[in-house]
Amino acid sequence: MSDREAEMIGELLPPDRLMLTPGPSCVDPRVNRAMAAPLVGHMDPWFTGMMDDVQTLLRSVFQTQNHITFPISASGSGGIEAAVMNPLEAGDECIVCVNGAFSERMAIIAERIPAKVIRVEAPYGRTVDPADVIRAGKGRKIKFVGLTHGETSSGVVHRIEDYRKAADELGALLVVDAVATLAGVPLDVAGQHIDICFSGSQKAISAPPGMAPITVNARVEELMRARKEPVRSWYFDLTPAMNYWGKERLYHHTPPITLIYGMREALRCVVEEGLEARWERHLHNQQALIAGLEAMGLELFVSNPADRLVTVTAVNIPAGIEDGKVRRQLLDEFNIEIAGGLGPVKGKIWRIGLMGYSSQKSNVLLFLAALEKTLLDQGFRVPAGAGEAAAIHCYQQAAQPAAVGARK
């Protein structure tokens, strides 16, 4: 590199965006402060002691006492790989419920083991029928049923209890991808009898990307000990990884120390707020967002309200409106980032994330005002102020019972 080239690469000053995407979400300033703490070694006694805090907090948020509960040093996709590779061996049969890009990823990973994967499919925007899962597995030795709790590519949520019943009928494990739902949507690993559950740090937990919390119950631990062959991935084999996160604290790999600082603080934020209060906040903000979008004349992609994922709302792009132009104007003029569609819905939907620290009343109202102005500029007729007015009315309606109770 020449001196001139070196001079041209200035100080790193990223823009301060309002991230209303399916991930990552904005992080609480507390998390940023935690990550500015001094770096220590990953075998330092202070750090290995602090790891206990992270595991305790994760068990609280997952609602489990599972021994194997820790954050994998990887993205959410690494969580998928670990959750699939540890229970499955070559030739095993599994069912994967596929209704979007990330549930499809679970099936692809299982096929590379190679396992015999039975896809039970539904179109983008729809849930997979649990009765179809049972029919597909009848008479087969199914190792697990894989389910994406919240499919962010289409904004759909599944009811876990229905698939637990299906897995029980087939004598199978239930593996749940909770990347988009943990800490934002009701989830109870112990109460819902989930065998393997994993998530991502950058969504409703609101930590930076790069960690995939996972929890595995005793049934799976026993199955892992009985494997005929080693897990085909050294890095994602949970047994040696737990030698580091377990009591032994044996070296496995160098974890992202600063990200673990951030995750610890983000989990503290979750626990301080309380899971039920946090779920309610996410729900109220999405209800206000939906009221505003519909008042503006926009249609939601997921037609059945019961199937809508609280943390990610998918909206049909109106005819004649160009996806990229709207998203670019929101970014350039208002510093707001939302996402477009993936795969078969690319260019057809917008995906708006209200996750973790990003899920705030002020962000909902700001976004609706910005979207109104942007759509008007793009030639779409929007009743003036309709979106904000509808959202405000929704917030007022939600607050009324509390106000009445306070007057009593």
Taking only the tens place, the pLDDT of each residue in 229-238 is 999 999 999 9
User: What integer is the mean pLDDT of 370-397?
Assistant: 96
CATH code for the structural domain at 275-397: 3.90.1150.10
DSSP letter at 256? -
C-alpha to C-alpha distances, 372 to 20, 327, 384, nearest whole angstrom:
16, 12, 8
Q: Which fold has domain 29-271?
A: Aspartate Aminotransferase; domain 2 (3.40.640)
Identify the pLDDT of residue 6: 67
Q: How far is residue 70's CA from residue 68's CA, in Å, rounded to a whole number?
A: 7
The phi-psi region of residue 183 (left if phi > 0; otherwise alpha if psi is between -120 and 50; otherwise beta) is left
The domain locations on the chain are 29-271, 275-397
User: What integer is the mean pLDDT of 125-149?
Assistant: 98
Q: Which residues contact 142 (CB under 8 A, 6 or more apart)?
A: 93, 94, 95, 118, 167, 170, 171, 172
Identify the pLDDT of residue 401: 62
State the amino acid at position 372 in one-letter form: E
Strand partners of residue 177: 148, 198
**Residue 403 confidence (pLDDT) above 80:** no
Task: Please report how many Cα atoms fall inside a 13 Å half-sphere around the Cα of residue 334, on the Cβ side.
Answer: 22
Task: Please report how many Cα atoms fall inside a 13 Å half-sphere around the Cα of residue 269, on the Cβ side.
Answer: 21
**Residue 405 confidence (pLDDT) above 50:** no
Cα 278–160–55 angle (5° rounding)?
A: 55
Model confidence pLDDT, tens digit, residues 337-379 = 999 999 999 999 999 999 999 999 999 999 999 999 999 999 9
Report residue 404's pLDDT band, with 50, 70 and 90 as the boundaries: very low
**Residue 408 confidence (pLDDT) above 80:** no
Model confidence pLDDT, tens digit, residues 256-274 = 999 999 999 999 999 999 9
| Three-state DSSP class for residue 202 | coil
Q: With contact defined as beta carbons under 8 Å apart, do 257 and 46 qualify?
A: no
User: What integer is the mean pLDDT of 185-203?
Assistant: 98
* Ordered DSSP codes for 280-337: HHHHHHHHHHHHHHHHTT--BS--SGGGB-SSEEEEEPPTT--HHHHHHHHHHHH-EE
Report residue 407's pLDDT band, with 50, 70 and 90 as the boundaries: very low
**CA dihedral (151, 157, 159, 160) positive or negative:** positive
Task: Determine which of 184-188, 288-292, 383-387 has the lowest per-residue pLDDT on average.
Answer: 383-387
Q: What's the whole-number average pLDDT of the chain?
A: 95
Identify the pLDDT of residue 285: 98
Report residue 164's pLDDT band, with 50, 70 and 90 as the boundaries: very high
pTM of the model: 0.95
